[in-house]
Amino acid sequence: MARTGRRPGNADTRQAILDVARTQFAELGYEGVSLRGIARAAGVDAALVHHYFDGKSGLFAEVMQLPLDPAVALPGVLDGDVEQLGERLLRFFLALWESPETGPRMRAAIRTALSSEEASTRLGHFVVQEILGRLATRLGSDQAMTRATLTGTQLIGLAVARYLVQADPLIRMSVEEIVAAVAPTLQGYLTGDLAEVLAAEPVQA
């Protein structure tokens, strides 16, 4: 045993952290959870949690069995010309769902997340903080969170219709056809003229 009485790093420790994290995310929600609190409940050093999971976002991704941690994957997509960001985001998102490796995990994760009110809200907080928040920071414009969220609605609707509901005309479209049809919508939300909306918007996060 380690000098502190805390368990040393090994597969059991990793699993113990995951078990505690699953419970705490369910009980406290994404925002309510701290890595320190998880480490305490698991009886390990907080540095170990960081060592295994690369932060709260990575830990949540693992608990939800998401195929990737947005904190790791997103920066590469957000980099580059903001005027092409809609298309880059869309291609990245479609690739995740189309891939035989990550697609089934995306479908399973989204089904779980939408199965109950609690799970939906938990996913919502994660998506808002770790995905839309990063997108908004990249935009850096007024009402960037609203722009990011509108972008999110079109992406999630596309995924639900094509990969869960498998709506007929949509599953017969190629990725290129979808990009041609939907990227302009995303780009419009990201950098287009939303004057009426922006003027009407009351509070901003």
Give the binding range for its own copies (CB under 8 A) out of 15-23, 69-77, 79-87, 156-164: 156-164
Nearest distance from C-beta of residue 157 to its own copies, angstroms = 2
Give the binding range for its own copies (CB under 8 A) out of 32-40, 51-59, 69-77, 165-173: 165-173
* C-alpha 19, offset from chain centre: 21
Among 123, 135, 139, 190, binds its own copies (CB under 8 A): 123
Give the binding range for its own copies (CB under 8 A) out of 20-28, 45-53, 77-85, 194-202: 194-202
Nearest distance from C-beta of residue 64 to its own copies, angstroms = 13
Alpha helices in 43-102 (DSSP H): 46-53, 56-63, 70-78, 85-98
* Residue 140 within binding range of its own copies, rule CB under 8 A: no
Nearest distance from C-beta of residue 179 to its own copies, angstroms = 9
Whether the CB-CB separation of 106 and 96 falls below 8 Å is answered with: yes
Whether the CB-CB separation of 85 and 78 falls below 8 Å is answered with: yes
Binding mask 34-73 for its own copies (x = CB under 8 A): ----------------------------------------
Whether the CB-CB separation of 85 and 138 falls below 8 Å is answered with: yes
Q: What is the DSSP letter of 65?
A: T
Whether the CB-CB separation of 57 and 71 falls below 8 Å is answered with: yes
Mutual angle of helices 35-42 and 46-53, in 10-degree steps: 110
Q: Choose between 2 and 95: whose C-beta lies nearer to its own copies.
A: 95
* Residue 152 within binding range of its own copies, rule CB under 8 A: yes
3-state helix, strand, coil in the chain (%, to 5): 75, 0, 25
Task: List the one residue out of 183, 185, 189, 193 whose CA is nearest residue 88.
Answer: 183
Among 57, 182, 187, 190, binds its own copies (CB under 8 A): 182
Q: Which residues bind its own copies (CB under 8 A)?
A: 111, 113-117, 120-121, 123-125, 127-128, 132, 145-146, 148-150, 152-158, 160-162, 164-170, 172-174, 176-177, 180-182, 184-185, 188-189, 194, 196-197, 200-205
